[in-house]
Structure 1
Amino acid sequence: MKPDLRVSRRIASCLVAGALTLLAPAARAEFPTLDVAIQRARAHAVVVADAEGELGAARGQLAGARVSALGNPYTDIQIDRPFSNHGTAGYQVQALTFTYFPIDIAGQRGKRVEEAERLIDWRKLGLVDARAIATGEVVAAYGELVVSSSRVTEASTGETTARDEAKYFEGRFEAKDTTLYEKSIAEAEVARWVQSRAEAELRVANARARFGQLTGVPDTDKPPPNVDILPPSLRTSWDDVHVARVVDKAPLVSRLAAEKSYWEASIERHEREKIPPVSFEILAGRGSQGEARFGGGAVITLPVTRKFQGEIARAEAGRTNAGRRLELYRGVVNARLRAARDAIQSVSKALEELDKNGIPALERAVAASVEGFRAGKIDLQRAMLARRDLAIARARRLDLLEASWRAYADLVIFTGDLP
């Protein structure tokens, strides 16, 4: 009985451990660095998966274009006999076979291969553009997430300070050393910071969802407290000459140029397809007199009514549209690159001034106002105004950082890498 009891206990322990494992919440992934997030987005983003699928389909079209210029042979078998002899020696059965071998004689196979290769080039550059888009989007989501987390920290700190102030005024009110107005103002300040923290937490939730969608990791940890909320520094000066070079090499521009080239190859292919294949014919069989029959010939189709008019018109429209969009997006890329560069430069100057002079001065003003109020030298409104000015300055600083991350993401989208 004892061995059976031990075995039963072991089985029960295993079952309990397995149940606890299944019921335990999945461990969250560690918050990644920006480089790791970029690598994940380039591999797992939806836009990248779509582009990879299009590239695979294009490679399949190339496999079809490389088939032989010799088409599938086909055979026509004819057997007949007269209804009556009418003076003939007898009823004779005539049996003939016609075998046809269609062959492309105008180089259609080469044009089909060229069109398929142009399509692959287009889809390859489309994949490069998709990865650039995914990289830019994950950079923007990363920046939004770390800045929103800083907003939560700022709001939590403000809420803690406001609650301490509310307790201070509540004690003074109970001691009949202050008015109901000042006590109510302090309590309202707590509510304002609670609202600010809730808004910041909503931003974090949205940013985490977007970040997880791009990286393929739906549940990641929150950014650590020491994470750098400043976007990376630009590697070059980004003057007008550099911007012009980037425009010509932008993934979006390269993709549109490849699309235009594909439609041109498609036009050439269908122009060549106007010339139908020639079918060479081999005849063999037995004639009505029992004699053997052999022969040959050719079947030629005249391209009179059907000449791929629809396919050519579609390809011409595609080429025109691609050319129009190519010129349009050249201007768009140029304008957005310049705007992003100017935004980053402006934000950098503003942040330097804020961090060096603005926020330290406001912090000194808040400390002085608190001392002055508790010493009875200034009223509560002036102390609250100084604290709100500091909170607004810090919030505006985070707004500038968000704008800087968005501008930096624009540079990433149009270059395909960290600028």
Structure 2
Amino acid sequence: MTPIPRKRVIRASAIVAALATLSFSNGANATEPRVAFAATVPSRPAPDTAHDPPMAERFPSLERAMELARERAPSVVSARAGVGVARASHRGARLAPIDNPYLEVFVDRGLQRATKDVTVQANLWLPIEMSGQRARRLDEADALVAWQQTRFDSTRLVAAGDAVRAYGAALVAAARVQTVEEIVRDALAEAEVYSQRLAAGDATLQDDKLASMEHARYVVMREESQADLTRALVELSRATGRMFTPPDAVSVAPPPPAGHLGGSAAARVADRSPHVATSTREATYYARAKERAALEAHPPVNLIVSAGRGDLGEPRFGGGFSWTFPVLRRNQGEQARADAERARALAEADVKRRIVAQTLDGLTRERAEVRRAREVLETLAEPAAQASVDAAVATRAAGKGEMLRVLTARRDLALLRLRRLELIAREWSIVGDIVALTGEMP
């Protein structure tokens, strides 16, 4: 009856796949103390299908979950809309390099009657961009679209990683619920044995209460595991935009072996990573924005067409042009801001490149260490625990052992299987992080 530390390996952002099975048949006869104990800790009620999520789909495959996340995750929807907003900037950038014409009209008349009539003059101004501002605006719009498109690609990678983590968390949570349910049955049977022994005078009241407390502890663990499953399904729904039913009892294996992503391989992946490209494209956008601001410091040339009549009533026509000298104001603030933003984006690109490479290298080594720990558990600890169960069952069948030893051995085996689930959960979480950086299953 050793207390079990609760380790929250299964969380909403973790991905795991594992399923452990443990069988037990209880042949103990019911007695009055057993009935009294069973009434203190209620058994788990049957699942209420009336509370299943509306329109929930059957639990998907991993590929299906990743595909849905790449298209329907909230962050992906927002990033896709950002690409549309960026493309809308082309509408203004493609306009002809001619600004809106404007008209000015002057009317005057002498006050001393020195002139014969009213003088009228109208000037039509037509601003024309002569310095290539339109081309620079198009370059800036193209750079903005490229930046937002790369950001969209980067967001899809992160969404796929979130889906992998949530998918695995749901699988492991379902397996944990099943395994803990079997531990609860073993703990209940153990408590019943102590109740019978107490009634027979072969155990103390303290032993009976400790067994009851142990059973209650596992009931709490079972309910918490069920809550973990519910949370994992909610996280999967958030990542994919769909609600799914809990996974069926299927065999869940750890992620497939990964290729080597350390050292130079991690550096090559980092160089091609959309996360890094997002910052480099952002730097390119601000470089184009500075070029546009520098050219727009040269105002358009105004062509002027003049028409009117003189004070003698004669028609008058003329023309000319005007140009503003960019001497004092040359968009200095806009250019300085664009330069600073470009420097920031380039610095972020260097940091991201280093972080991606180091993270991939570290995740590869961490996964290898977790796999080794799981292999030791599967090849040494679990077989030993299974042998202990077999020996306890054989001893009990020979009439030389107690049922309590069988129950304890079976519960220890189930706890090892729970530990195996935790290791698989951690490995799937690592895989989710790798997918968020690379976009693909390793």
The one-letter code sitting in structure 1 at the alignment partner of 2:297 is: K
| Cα distance per residue 1:358-414 (max 9 Å; x no partner) | 21211222443566689666896x878755643443232222112111111111111
Structure number with higher helix proportion = 1
| 5+ long unaligned stretches in structure 1 | 1-22
Report SS of the residue matched to 2:299: coil
- How many Å apart are 1:281 and its aligned residue? 0.6
Residue in structure 1 matched with residue 20 of structure 2 by the alignment = none
**1:57-97, Cα deviation, whole Å (9 max, x unpaired):** 110112111111111111112222222414x4x3x121111
Aligned residue among 274, 287, 292 for 1:251: 274
Specify the alignment match of 1:240 in structure 2: 263
TM-score (norm 2): 0.82
The whole-number CA distance in structure 2 between the counterparts of 1:161 and 1:389 is 10
Classify the secondary structure of the residue corresponding to 1:191.
Answer: helix
Task: Using the TM superposition, give the Cα deviation of residue 28 of structure 1 relative to its aligned residue in structure 2, in angstroms.
Answer: 2.1
Report if aligned partners of 1:143, 1:231 keep a CA contact under 8 Å in 2.
Answer: no
Q: Which amino acid aligns with 1:60?
A: A
- Which aligned pairs between 1:358-373 and structure 2 lie closer than 5 A? 358-369=381-392
- Report how many aligned residue pairs link the two structures: 391
Aligned CA distance change for structure 1 residues 27 and 273 (closer, same or farther; 3 Å): closer
Contact 1:41 1:138 in 2 (8 A): yes
Pick 1 or 2: higher relative contact order, CA cutoff 8 A, min separation 6.
2
Deviations 1:14-63 (A, max 9, x none): xxxxxxxxx99734211111111111111111111111121111101121
Query: Aligned residue for 2:145?
Result: 120
Query: How is 1:18-417 mapped onto 2 (pairs within 5 angstroms)?
Result: 26-86=54-114, 88=115, 90=116, 92-217=117-242, 219-234=243-258, 236-369=259-392, 389-417=412-440
C-alpha distance in structure 1 between counterparts of 2:298 and 2:396, whole Å: 95
Aligned partners of 1:146 and 1:229 also within 8 Å: no
Q: Distance in 1 between matches of 2:406 and 2:150?
A: 59
CA distance in 2, matches of 1:385, 1:168: 12
Contact 1:147 1:402 (C-alpha < 8 Å) held by counterparts: yes
- What is the CA-CA distance between 1:169 and the residue it aligns to? 2.8
Report the Cα distance in structure 1 between the residues aligned to 2:146 and 2:378, rounded to whole angstroms.
Answer: 49
Could you report, residue by residue, the CA deviation over 1:329-361 in whole angstroms, capped at 9, with x for unpaired residues?
111111110111112222222222322222121
- Describe the SS at the equivalent of 1:222: coil
Cα deviation, 1:126-162, whole Å, max 9, x if unaligned, reads: 0000100100111111111111111111110100121
Q: Relative to 1, partners in 2 of residues 1:239 and 1:67: Cα closer, same or farther, differing over 3 Å? A: same
Change (3 A) 1:363 1:184: farther
> By how many angstroms is 1:265 displaced?
1.0
**What is the one-letter code of the residue matched to 1:66?**
R
Structure 2, unaligned stretches of length 5 or more? 1-50
Displacement after TM superposition at 1:257 (Å):
1.0
Does the Cα contact within 8 Å between 1:336 and 1:410 map onto a contact in 2?
no
For residues 274-314 of structure 1, the C-alpha deviation after alignment (integer angstroms, 9 at most, x for no partner) is 11111111111111121111111111111123221221122
Q: Distance in 1 between matches of 2:256 and 2:111?
A: 94
Instruction: Give the Cα–Cα distance (whole angstroms) in 2 for the partners of residues 42 and 176 of structure 1.
Output: 65
Q: TM-score, normalised by structure 1?
A: 0.87
**Residues in 2 aligned to 1:402 and 1:367: alpha-carbon distance in whole angstroms:** 28
* Contact map agreement 2:261 2:360 (CA 8 A) in 1: no
Indicate the percent of aligned positions where both proteins have the same amino acid. Answer: 34
